[in-house]
Amino acid sequence: MREAQLNGRAIEIPDMISFAFNPMRVKVDTQRVVTIELTDGEKTFTDEREPIGGNVSIDLALYARSFFTIDRKEMILPKEVTCTVREGGVGTTFTMLVVWGAMNVGERFNKPRKVTWFKNFPFTFNLYVPEGATARTRYDKNTYTPVTLQEGWNVINPNDLFDAAEFGVIRMDDYVHPSVWEYTFDETFRGVDEGTHISRLVVDECTKGIYLRWIDRHGYYQYYLFKGGDDVYQSKAQGDDVNVDYSSWYDFGNIQVQQHKQMTNSIRACATLVDEETFNMLLGIHSSPMVDMWYDNDWLPIRVGDATITKSGKPLQDVEIEIMMPNIVSQRL
């Protein structure tokens, strides 16, 4: 939480970087009506609250989620939201970067990462650049060179930064960001290595496999190329029994067929012998409501089957998933 001043008193407001599926509370100690207005420049919401016990507390998360339009053809990117809190005709205004995601106990946002860059498939790298941070890049055996990244949320195409054959590195210096949950998640936004933040992209030139992308809990798009396994088909009778008149030289009665058959298709896939960091990243596919498969030069929405995942504690382990393809459409009597 942050603090702002309203009528000469401190009030609690959400963090500069807030998550739409976590509480985003505004708290004002007052005996007056408090009005809050939120806008992203396109939509505007207004809420008016009476005090209870000398306090007004409003959770803005529901309004924040309403700013997002879910379109599978477009990435779900954070929204910059402006909020004005008014009491007795006096107001204070603040801004937030609202991420379509959630933080959980023990997690850190925007921590240094090592990811696999699948160069033969569509790929982006999400990175938050704090105010005042300077960025440099290097790849393979080359030295660091300065690069300009905008302050805030960046969706990076690595091909625009370096022509790497083995790996690329994005380094931020003067990386200082205060903890927004100072007393609860004391490492959530902690600077790394005294102001240095390094992310490494390891090149993978594979051309075959099942390529998936998903949005993780921190609003980042993640990508991985899985090895395909068995193709599984299941059919199930649906609808009512339908009587069929049938006769040849002898009449048969009580001949019925099923009105409809439902057929589903699932594909088993595996990421083999991944390290702990990659394993933790792949776990996010099971909590994501937005998973797509690269198919015929486009992103096809798919579902990942329910599963129980066990982290073995070994240095390397496999991650298996079941991809639920769209139901197969067939005729109906």
Torsion (CA) 34, 39, 43, 46 in degrees, nearest 10: 0
* pLDDT for position 291: 95
Q: How far apart, in whole angstroms, are the C-alpha atoms of residue 63 and residue 61? A: 5
* pLDDT for position 189: 45
Q: Which tokens is 220 given?
A: 């980042």
* pLDDT for position 175: 58
* pLDDT for position 118: 96
Domains of the chain plus CATH, in order, are 2-99 (2.60.40.10), 114-204 (no CATH), 210-324 (no CATH)
Residues 215 and 100 sit within 8 Å (Cβ to Cβ): yes
∠ at Cα 108 (105, 111), nearest 5°? 165
* pLDDT for position 47: 94
Question: Within 13 Å of residue 115, how many CA atoms lie on the same side as its CB?
Answer: 24
* pLDDT for position 194: 54
* pLDDT for position 271: 94
Among residues 30, 70, 22, 16, the alpha carbon closest in space to that of 292 is found at 70
Among residues 285, 148, 298, the alpha carbon closest in space to that of 221 is found at 285
Rg (CA), the chain: 26
Q: How far apart, in whole angstroms, are the C-alpha atoms of residue 156 and residue 297? A: 20
* pLDDT for position 146: 92
Maximal C-alpha separation, the chain: 99
Write out the chain's pLDDT in tens, 333 residues.
Answer: 788 888 888 999 999 999 999 999 999 999 999 999 999 999 999 999 999 999 999 999 999 999 998 888 889 999 999 999 999 888 899 999 999 999 988 888 888 899 999 999 999 999 999 888 889 999 999 999 999 999 999 999 999 999 899 999 999 987 555 444 433 344 444 444 457 889 999 999 999 999 999 999 999 999 999 999 888 888 887 777 777 766 665 566 667 777 778 888 889 999 999 999 999 999 999 999 999 999 999 999 999 999 888 888 889 999 999 998 887 777 777
Other beta carbons less than 10 A from residue 210's beta carbon: 20
Q: Calculate the CA 28 to chain-centre distance.
A: 32
* pLDDT for position 241: 78
* pLDDT for position 182: 37
Distances (CA, A) of 271 to 63, 200, 244: 38, 20, 50
* pLDDT for position 249: 56
* pLDDT for position 250: 58
Through-space distance between the first and last CA atoms of the chain, rounded to whole angstroms? 60
Question: Within 13 Å of residue 16, how many CA atoms lie on the same side as its CB?
Answer: 11
Residues 135 and 147 sit within 8 Å (Cβ to Cβ): yes
* pLDDT for position 232: 86
Residues 81 and 68 sit within 8 Å (Cβ to Cβ): no
User: Taking the model in full, what pTM does it have?
Assistant: 0.84
The secondary structure of residue 63, as a DSSP letter, is H
Residues 231 and 290 sit within 8 Å (Cβ to Cβ): no
